[in-house]
Amino acid sequence: MHETNEPGKKKLASLYHDLDGLIGYIECIQAESDNVDLNLNLRDITRKIKSTQAQMVEAVVKDVMGVYLPLEKNEMVQDINLDQAVVLIKEVENQAKRWGMSVVTSIYNSAARPVAVHCMDQSYIASFDVANNKAYASAALKMSTITLKNLSQPGQELYGIQHTNEGQIVIFGGGEPLIYKEKIIGSIGVSGGTEEEDTKLAEFGKNKLKEVMTWS
């Protein structure tokens, strides 16, 4: 079984936030300075620090992925396609109706690119972006957003990750990776209810995937 280096990740998290503090200090200097050359140099330093932070996050995510997900053994399995995504969305929406919900459901492929998204009547306008971001986060990080929520709490190894990727990383429930024959073929994001409702509906979609794949 893959084991994570907990002390090392805690030190990495501490360093990440120290760098955040350094960025804040640099930005304060820039706000007070009229020196163009100095500000350009400080901007370049900030860019390099953020690049380093991104590499740190990537390293931790790769380590965490080995704990929470099966290995991708079957390279012949294809990503979820449009027809399959539409059928899966319909199944999720039927379940949402049974639960009295109006939701937005988004399906992404394994490369974190959109395949299909659909809004039920009366669903919230804001749910469109939220559902897409849940699907993006689950595909990009290869884990559920409820798992990510636990890993991104203060003191945990992915604390602060929601501030990366231009705000597309969602750290509350409703996003799930779609796994078929031990391979991630995409992801699903659901938004429109409470966190618990969205989580259950996304899990319903994840569990319905195998059945949908046999229909196509």
Q: pTM value? A: 0.69
Tell me the mean pLDDT in the region 175-204: 97
Contact 78, 186 (CB under 8 A): no
d(Cα 210, Cα 206) in Å, to the nearest integer? Answer: 8
Whole-number Å distance between alpha carbons of 115 and 109 = 6
Q: In angstroms, rounded to a whole number, what is the distance separating the alpha carbons of residues 185 and 67?
A: 19
Residue that has been written with the tokens 């396609």 in this structure: 81
Percent of the chain at pLDDT > 90 equals 63
Name which residue leads in pLDDT, 183 or 1: 183
Would you mind telling me the total number of residues written for the chain in this entry? 216
Q: What is the mean pLDDT of residues 60-65?
A: 66
Residue 1's pLDDT is 43
3-class SS at 176? strand
What pLDDT is recorded for position 82? 96
CA distance 96 to 104: 10
Average pLDDT of the segment spanning 165-177: 94
- Residue 104: exposure state from Cβ atoms within 10 A (0-12, 13-18, ≥19): buried
- Tell me the C-alpha distance between 88 and 83, whole Å: 9
What does the alpha-carbon distance between residue 73 and residue 39 come to, in Å, rounded to a whole number?
49
Residue 125 in tokens:
């306008």
Q: What's the one-letter identity of residue 196?
A: E
**So what's the pLDDT on residue 74?**
47
